[in-house]
Chain A
Amino acid sequence: MNESLLRELVPAVIGVLVRRGADFAAAEDAVQDALVEAVRAGGEEQPRDPKGWLITVAWRKFLDAARAESSRRGREVRAESEPEPGPAESADDTLRLYFLCAHPSLTPASAVALTLRAVGGLTTRQIAQAYLVPESTMAQRISRAKRTVAGVRFNRPGDVATVLRVLYLVFNEGYSGDVDLAAEAIRLTRQLAAMTRHEEVAGLLALMLLHHARRPARTTPDGRLVPLAEQDRGRWDTRMIAEGVEVLQAALARDRLGEFQAQAAIAALHADAPAAEETDWVQIVEWYDELVRLTGNPVARLNRAVAVGEADGARAGLAALAELDPALPRHTAAAAYLHERAGDAATAARLYAEAARQATSLPERDHLTRQAARLNAHLRG
Chain B
Amino acid sequence: MAKYLLLKHYRGAPASVNDVSMDQWTPEEVAAHVQYMVDFAARLEETGEFVDSQGLSPEGRFVRYDGEGRPPVVDGPFAETKDLIAGWMVIDVESQERAYELAAELSAAPGAGGRPIHEWLEVRPFLTAHSRVFD
Contacts and interface: CB of A to CB of B under 8 A. Distances in A.
Interface of A: 107-110, 113, 131-134, 136-138, 140-142, 144, 168, 171-176, 182, 211, 225, 263, 299, 302-303, 329-330, 359-365
Nearest to B134: A172
Given A107-B94, A109-B1, A182-B133, A134 B50 contact: yes
Contacts of A133: 48, 50-51, 92
Given A134-B50, A360-B128, A211 B92 contact: no
B130 A363 contact: yes
B134 A137 contact: no
Nearest to A302: B135
Contacts of A132: 3, 51, 92, 129
B47 interface: yes
A110 B48 contact: yes
B130 A141 contact: no
A299 B135 contact: yes
Contact of A175 (B51, B125, B130): B130
Nearest to B48: A141
Contacts of B135: 299, 302-303, 329-330
Contacts of A302: 135
Given A113-B48, A136-B50, 14 more contacts: A132-B3, A133-B92, A137-B49, A137-B92, A140-B47, A142-B48, A144-B46, A144-B48, A172-B132, A174-B130, A175-B130, A302-B135, A303-B135, A361-B131
B19 interface: no
Contacts of B128: 174, 360-362
Contacts, number: 86
A171 B132 CA distance: 9
Interface string B7-32: 00000000000000000000000000
Given A107-B94, A109-B48, A110-B48, A174 B129 contact: yes
Contacts of A144: 46-48
A131 B49 CA distance: 12
Nearest to A140: B48
Nearest to A367: B131
14 contacts: A131-B92, A133-B51, A134-B45, A134-B50, A134-B52, A137-B48, A137-B50, A137-B51, A144-B46, A173-B130, A174-B130, A174-B133, A299-B135, A362-B129
The 3 closest A-B pairs by CB, nearest first: A141-B48, A174-B130, A361-B131
B73 interface: no
A330 B134 CA distance: 12
Nearest to A110: B48
Contacts of B3: 132
A330 B128 CA distance: 15
A364 B50 CA distance: 26
B4 to A, nearest CB: 12
A329 B130 CA distance: 16
Contacts of A113: 48
A109 B123 CA distance: 21
B129 to A, nearest CB: 6
Contacts of A225: 131
A366 to B, nearest CB: 10
Contacts of A141: 47-48
B94 A360 contact: no
A361 B3 CA distance: 12
A250 B56 CA distance: 59
A174 B48 contact: no
Interface in B95-130: 125, 127-130
